[in-house]
A and B are shown apart, each in its own frame.
Chain A
Amino acid sequence: MNKNQSDTIITVENLTKRFKDLTAVNSISFNVKKGEIFAFLGPNGAGKTTTIRILTTLLSPTSGEAVIDGQSVTHHPGEVRKVIGYVPQMISVDGALTAQENLMLMARLYDVPFRERQESVQRILTFLKLEKYANLLVKTFSGGMIRKLEVGQAMLNHPHVLFLDEPTAGLDPIAKRNVWQHLLELRDKFGTTILFSTHNMEEADEVCDRVAIMSAGKIAAMGPTQDLKNKVNKENATLEDAFVFFTGDHLQENGNFHEIRHLRQTMRRLG
């Protein structure tokens, strides 16, 4: 697929994850290039979160292989963890700590050297325009501020690849734009590769270099958004049209009870 190997930062081959009687991810393969913004598009239960959890070393695959920055997620998870950042779908900052403490905690877990820690944390607070709120408990923050702080936490180790699971679910349009501004800046400044999942078509269309449309554990289609739209026999086709075209318009099993509850809880919290 990608001829220039040195350009590729994520290589996934025949990745499969089975839970008891459910095949969440069914033999998917794809590559992501350095500095690319790549999205998994699909409904709940399509296997997006499971794929991200395997790539971030949280779950081990049933079969297949994934390599990030030259290291296998199954054989050298410790090495992979050093070069990736992760923002889970749910809230991943501690409401009982201040913004500053949350960042400091991550800086220490990521082995940011003692001398640089204070400065890194300060730089990120400035970058995210959260300086004024540094010493407030995070439970007093709005949804957009929380998401920004989570992105900030994941930036502390200058990750080569940043994974985000539904980064803007439950955010209002302004907060959404704000979070993406920071993410795009991150890519432009440091060349960070960004891989995220979403079921928001407009979001994917706006920011992605390429998307993979996932359906029932498989990749139904993959490519630049314009290419996918061109394949639909319709004038001015949107990404949503492409999505329906490639997945068929039958209704998906919409995730399980647990996932839905998580999602709703998250939405409520992010308010």
Chain B
Amino acid sequence: MLKYISQVIIKSYVMAEMEVRKLLHDPTELIMRAVQPILWLGIFGEAMSKIRAIPTEGFTYLQFITPGILTQSVTFVAVFYGLAIIWERDIGLLPKFLVTPTPRLAFVWGKMISAGIRGLSQAVIIFLFAILLRVHLLFTPISILGTVLIIMLGASFFTGLSTVIAALVKTRERFMGIGQLITLPLFFASNAIYPISIMPSWLQAVANVNPLSYMVNGLRALLVTGDLSRLPFDIMVLLVVALAISILSAYMYPKIMA
């Protein structure tokens, strides 16, 4: 058991390190991915804050949506990891990995950690842009640590979800379809760009079980409101769903071969 745990930790690190090395060899992807959140903040955010149509509890609309856009950006990166796994299966990397004496959980965690690191790089770019737009955010040691934790947990959950979907649908074409189908509803059925209180009640119910909402809550508390009373609960929820999906996706992962 102890050997298994040490194997999982060591090899998760190995897999994550390789992903990071790939990013360092060619970081253009990170820059490309930053375009969308910048458009959301710079255009959608700016326009909506002129209208003042959405109640934002005493903060500016840009303050309100910055954590939402960050969350969206992190989860969208993570949700397409399944596609990378299918691609690795197609070119032959995945079978080669699966034949090594590596716990399946390590492959999943390796992907989750690297999705988290990609998410953190998104956060840096979004924060820089937010500062440029003179959005007032709270940057304290606690808020930065908390932000890192929430990004890692949220990215992990959506990477795991994506892995499970990949193992079920098995082909790139079907995955693309489903990926498109779930990302936008996940985003809109959350408190990322408007508060849950203005939603119709059926949508509120969805938003309340959407892990994306818990990410937004946590990040908003840390970066905007500074009211951390709900933070432990948000983090607990993210931790539990991330662990649960880890186990499910470690089980599903090898099934992508069949």
| Interface window among B62-70, B75-83, B96-104 | B96-104
Q: Tell me whether B92 and A89 are in contact (CB under 8 A).
A: yes
Q: Tell me whether B25 and A137 are in contact (CB under 8 A).
A: yes
The B-contacting residues of A in range 92-117, CB under 8 angstroms, are: 92-94, 96-98, 101, 105-106, 108-111
Q: Does B93 contact A (CB under 8 A)?
A: yes
Minimum distance in angstroms from B13 CB to a CB of chain A: 9
Please report the C-alpha to C-alpha distance between residue A262 and residue B91 in the assembled complex, in whole angstroms.
8
Q: Give chain A's interface residue range (CB within 8 Å of chain B).
A: 20 to 34
Q: Does A86 contact B (CB under 8 A)?
A: yes
| Interface window among B14-22, B111-119, B240-248 | B14-22
Please report the C-alpha to C-alpha distance between residue A111 and residue B98 in the assembled complex, in whole angstroms.
14
Please report the C-alpha to C-alpha distance between residue A101 and residue B101 in the assembled complex, in whole angstroms.
19
Q: Tell me whether B22 and A82 are in contact (CB under 8 A).
A: no
Q: Does B257 contact A (CB under 8 A)?
A: yes
The A-contacting residues of B in range 153-174, CB under 8 angstroms, are: none
Q: Number of residue pairs across A and B with beta carbons under 8 Å?
A: 75
A109 is contacted by which of B22, B95, B97 (Cβ under 8 Å)?
Answer: B97
Please report the C-alpha to C-alpha distance between residue A56 and residue B99 in the assembled complex, in whole angstroms.
6
Minimum distance in angstroms from A59 CB to a CB of chain B: 6
Q: Tell me whether A90 and B92 are in contact (CB under 8 A).
A: yes
Q: Tell me whether A58 and B257 are in contact (CB under 8 A).
A: yes
Q: Give chain B's interface residue range (CB within 8 Å of chain A).
A: 20 to 34
The residue on A at minimum CB distance from B99 is A86
Q: Does A88 contact B (CB under 8 A)?
A: yes
The residue on A at minimum CB distance from B92 is A90
The B-contacting residues of A in range 54-111, CB under 8 angstroms, are: 56-59, 78, 81-82, 84-94, 96-98, 101, 105-106, 108-111
Q: Tell me whether A53 and B257 are in contact (CB under 8 A).
A: yes
Please report the C-alpha to C-alpha distance between residue A85 and residue B99 in the assembled complex, in whole angstroms.
8
Please report the C-alpha to C-alpha distance between residue A205 and residue B97 in the assembled complex, in whole angstroms.
31
Q: Tell me whether A97 and B92 are in contact (CB under 8 A).
A: no
A59 is contacted by which of B11, B93, B97, B257 (Cβ under 8 Å)?
Answer: B257
Q: Does A193 contact B (CB under 8 A)?
A: no
Please report the C-alpha to C-alpha distance between residue A85 and residue B257 in the assembled complex, in whole angstroms.
18
Q: Chain B interface mostly helix, strand, loop or mixed? A: helix
A108 is contacted by which of B11, B91, B93 (Cβ under 8 Å)?
Answer: B11
Q: Tell me whether A109 and B11 are in contact (CB under 8 A).
A: yes
Q: Does B258 contact A (CB under 8 A)?
A: yes
Minimum distance in angstroms from A61 CB to a CB of chain B: 12
Please report the C-alpha to C-alpha distance between residue A59 and residue B254 in the assembled complex, in whole angstroms.
9
Minimum distance in angstroms from A164 CB to a CB of chain B: 12
Q: Does A197 contact B (CB under 8 A)?
A: no
Q: Does A11 contact B (CB under 8 A)?
A: no
Q: Tell me whether B101 and A110 are in contact (CB under 8 A).
A: yes
Please list the 8 inter-chain residue pairs (A to B) with the smallest Cβ-Cβ separation, ordered nearest first.
A90-B92, A92-B96, A92-B92, A109-B100, A88-B92, A96-B22, A86-B99, A81-B101
Q: What are 10 contact pairs spanning A and B, CB under 8 A?
A: A56-B99, A57-B99, A86-B95, A88-B96, A90-B91, A96-B25, A97-B25, A109-B100, A153-B96, A262-B90
Interface positions of B (Cβ within 8 A of A): 10-11, 14, 18, 21-22, 25-26, 90-93, 95-102, 254, 257-258
Interface positions of A (Cβ within 8 A of B): 19, 53, 56-59, 78, 81-82, 84-94, 96-98, 101, 105-106, 108-111, 137, 150, 153, 262
- Known: A90-B91, A108-B14; 15 extra A-B contacts, CB below 8 A, are A19-B258, A56-B95, A58-B254, A58-B257, A59-B258, A88-B92, A89-B92, A94-B18, A97-B22, A101-B18, A108-B10, A109-B14, A109-B100, A153-B96, A262-B90
